[in-house]
Structure 1
Amino acid sequence: MTDSTIRGETHAALITAPGSGQGKSMVTAALARLHRNAGRRVRVFKHGPDYLDPMVQEVASGQPVYQLHPWMTGEAECRWRLAEAARDADLILVEGSMGLFDGDPSSADLAILAGLPALPVIDAWGMAQTFGAVAQGLANYHPDLAIHEVIANRVGSPGHGRLLAESMPTGLSLLGAIPRHEAMKVADRHLGLVQAGELAGLDAQLDAAAEVLKEAGLDRLPARVTLDAEAPELPPRLLEDVRIGVARDDAFAFLYRANLDLLTQMGAELRFFSPLADRELPGCDALWLPGGYPELHGGKLAVNAPMRAAIRAHHDAGRPILAECGGLMACMGALVDGEGHEHAMLGLLPGTAQMAGKLSALGLQSLATDTGELRGHTYHHSLLETPLTPAAHARRLAGSPGEPVYVEGRLVASYFHGYFPSAPALAAAIFRGEPLHFTQDKN
């Protein structure tokens, strides 16, 4: 070990599933609340690009939640965040994404990289002895992945639970059988879970869900692991004394904690404001309009004329703006919501954003410039109609063109969501309003 090595030992597991829709998000949250209520310090992480699940996990654990993804955040950062958390936490839970082996890199890849055991949540609805076969298939699929226990979800009765336990093959056991229960359900909408701040009674529901898991025998801690990593170097102070106004409310809420941390570490002062409720901007040198749900609040955004005028004045004065996904939609001349109603937006870019009624784009992408390669993702249900020619395109992992990037003055706007720590100098350049020199083809 070197002087910069971080090492910690704690109980930890990757909560995963055979596929999406098995209930792993709520099981992770209920486990976090169960052990938190028992007096333990719990840290939760989320595999992959996701804004909504971490909101619920933060309420459940009472601690900040960060994303882990070997490609987007980088392998070294995955190891560092886990090792740092292991120094203080009694329990680390990592919520997987999609199915255990889905994607590249998958949740399994993260578990293998970090040395975490995987704990699959398997929806047992309509299943009997086949449950054991599914568990065995997951456990034997990759020789480097440790799976010793599984969780049965949506179990119909105690007898059903016993049948599932008896179906387990040698070397695997059933940690617990969770019955069907209202406390284990969480509302969702077109981009995923409903934002935690919009869920009335979420704290009480999490407490109830924790009790459901306790009664199902899930109060036992997973295995202990030792995690170590090299501490990263501090980023350069490229945003010293730069004030960044950050939109944050129910319409603009898709903010990675790591992005906010990085801006602060580079010297920026973050000033949060609400485009829905506030009538003026905070004093700021640059603006960040992140993703979210402007389509659900189009009418309220449209009638807040003072805020719209303030953002237009900021743009007209030549000050930098970064607009991501929902922020891009808000920059258009108009937004047509899911019910066909048109709302006037900021008018910084010509054209219309219109809800498509289905998923329009999904996946990991990157944006390459001579200042660095910003990694991130895209996920949206709307389409743009605009006469603008993109300044560049992000790139999908396979290399084909991804999301268009529009540059209008010092406004940089795209459906692409960036993970700033992957390219600190590029993030700083955007908020300083420096010209961007894209290094990939423009089409």
Structure 2
Amino acid sequence: MPMTDHPASLSLANIEPFSCPAVMIASPASGQGKTTFTAALARLYRNKGLSVKVFKCGPDFLDPMIHEQACGNPVDVVDTWMTTDDYTRFMLAEAAACHDVLIVEAAMGLFDGDSSPAALARQLGLPIWTVINARAMAQSFGALAYGLKHYQPDTPLAGVIAGQVGGDYHVELLRESLPEDIPLVGAIPRDSAMVLPERHLGLVQASELATTLDQQLDNAAALLESRGFGALPPDVTFTLPECDSVEPLLNGCRIAIARDDAFAFIYAANLRTLKALGAELQIFSPVAGDRLPECDAVWLPGGYPELHMTALAENCALVADLEAHVAAGRQLYAECGGMLYLLESLTDQHGATGMMAGLLPGSATLQERLVNLGLEALDLPEGELRGHSFHYSTMTTPMTPWQHTRRQRARYGSDTGEAVYRKGSIQASYHHAYFASAPHAAATLFMASDLTKPMKHALDQASETV
């Protein structure tokens, strides 16, 4: 069965289940080495001639870039809440039909968050291999592994990987510490091949590492192979759920999408959703000096505008194009870094200030610490558009929010999330939306306001026929 561009758009309940070797790579905490191990394992399988599909738990843009480079296939995120249960099952089942092995990298710690990796593994029937940094650790390694397996009932922990090990004696101590029902899958020595460069939002983007990343991935894969890795995980059976169809509400709509090192935070599912809605996608690069393509709507995704302030400030022609686009009443949707670009100025972590597009009043400043992180939803008449927030900047603006997102988990007694601003045909927020969670709601982000009534009529008609 070929991969489809349609996000849960087909009724496929009668198709037979698909089986495929699959595993979740998890850790007791962030910083244990699971991302590098996942990428190295994906490259190792790929180098053996296998078709590999990698998924990433929870909201993430940077790790999937590395994994896509490692496996050679698009990488999707999965989550028990943000990506919805049915669409998550749809993606895994579809991938199992098309690939030789599936790898799901967990986020943070195995049990962290309301939508924890452990819960997802139980939901999907995925065995778990957990990477534990064993540096400066001996018998306590076994205690930690035991706790991960038994902290919650039915956690499918199938084995552990020891990272940052010393010599053979160290590995033997770790192996002896494990309970009989938790095997040691393998051990990884301390090696520079297993370390990827980072910055304030996480890993450095794959595109910025150029040819060095491929060589590092090959070196890491060779290291794993030399340590006895390479055996496939067990088969897992995935069943396609029956999913609602997506109405082509954006037929004939041309959407210009900024995509380069400054605007790179784009979920693969978002592009598939827009195509399923009937949109024609046109990619352009503000950093490279591109003008705005002829279009009906614009999407400025998140990314690192603070690292490219000079190039963005020099692209005056694009600013003029965006001003004309908005003056004509055409939609402009901006997320996080895309919103910062629309402000009057942006100040980076070192105090340098750059002039931005000036389509929205206000300014933003990068902070040394994370300002906001969490799952949240934007409630629209057409549906609950789920997503997340993750940013290091603070913003000052005289604009009054049109509304606020709603946090999945209330904090300090309030579930109020990020501000959502509207100015003319511009809608902007720190909120990163996952379009496949509510495709019809996502369509409204790119439709002129006078088209929302016909869209509502189309949705009403569709619901009457179900």
Normalised by the size of structure 2, how large is the TM-score? 0.91
The 3 A distance-change label for structure 1 pair 62 and 2 is closer
Q: Secondary structure at the match of 2:25?
A: strand
Q: Secondary structure at the match of 1:367?
A: strand
Match of 1:421 in 2: 436
The 3 A distance-change label for structure 1 pair 30 and 398 is same
Q: 2-side partners of 1:270 and 1:159: how far apart?
A: 56
Q: 2-side partners of 1:313 and 1:194: how far apart?
A: 34
Please say if 1:134 is aligned against 2:140.
Answer: no
Aligned residue runs from structure 1 range 338-357, under 5 A: 338-357=349-368
**Number of residue pairs matched by the alignment:** 437
* CA shift for structure 1 position 3: 5.1
Q: 1-side partners of 2:12 and 2:398: how far apart?
A: 55
Aligned residue runs from structure 1 range 24-173, under 5 A: 24-173=34-183
* CA shift for structure 1 position 135: 0.7
Gaps of 5+ in 1: 438-443
Q: 2-side partners of 1:176 and 1:343: how far apart?
A: 49
Contact kept, 8 Å, 2:258 with 2:283, in 1: the verdict is yes
Please, which of 407, 410, 422 is the counterpart of residue 422 of structure 2? 407
Contact kept, 8 Å, 1:23 with 1:153, in 2: the verdict is yes
Q: 1-side partners of 2:407 and 2:242: how far apart?
A: 30
Match of 2:200 in 1: 190
Q: 1-side partners of 2:442 and 2:98: how far apart?
A: 31
Match of 2:293 in 1: 282
* CA shift for structure 1 position 276: 0.9
Please say if 1:248 is aligned against 2:255.
Answer: no
Give the AA of the match of 1:270: L
Match of 1:358 in 2: 369
Q: 1-side partners of 2:101 and 2:300: how far apart?
A: 35
* CA shift for structure 1 position 234: 3.4
Per mean C-alpha deviation after superposition, the further-off stretch among 111-120 and 350-359 is: 350-359
Q: Secondary structure at the match of 1:222?
A: coil
Give the AA of the match of 1:60: A
* CA shift for structure 1 position 278: 2.8
Percent sequence identity over aligned pairs: 50
Match of 1:319 in 2: 330
The 3 A distance-change label for structure 1 pair 235 and 6 is farther
* CA shift for structure 1 position 433: 2.5
- Superposed CA deviations along residues 159-188 of structure 1, whole A, max 9, x for unmatched, are 211211111111111010000111100001
Q: 2-side partners of 1:209 and 1:63: how far apart?
A: 19
Q: 1-side partners of 2:352 and 2:148: how far apart?
A: 46
Q: 1-side partners of 2:263 and 2:376: how far apart?
A: 21
Normalised by the size of structure 1, how large is the TM-score? 0.96
Aligned residue runs from structure 1 range 264-303, under 5 A: 264-303=275-314
Contact kept, 8 Å, 1:6 with 1:80, in 2: the verdict is no
* CA shift for structure 1 position 232: 2.7
Give the AA of the match of 1:63: N
Gaps of 5+ in 2: 1-10, 454-466
Please say if 1:223 is aligned against 2:234.
Answer: yes
- Superposed CA deviations along residues 71-102 of structure 1, whole A, max 9, x for unmatched, are 00111111111111111222110000000000
Q: 1-side partners of 2:131 and 2:309: how far apart?
A: 38
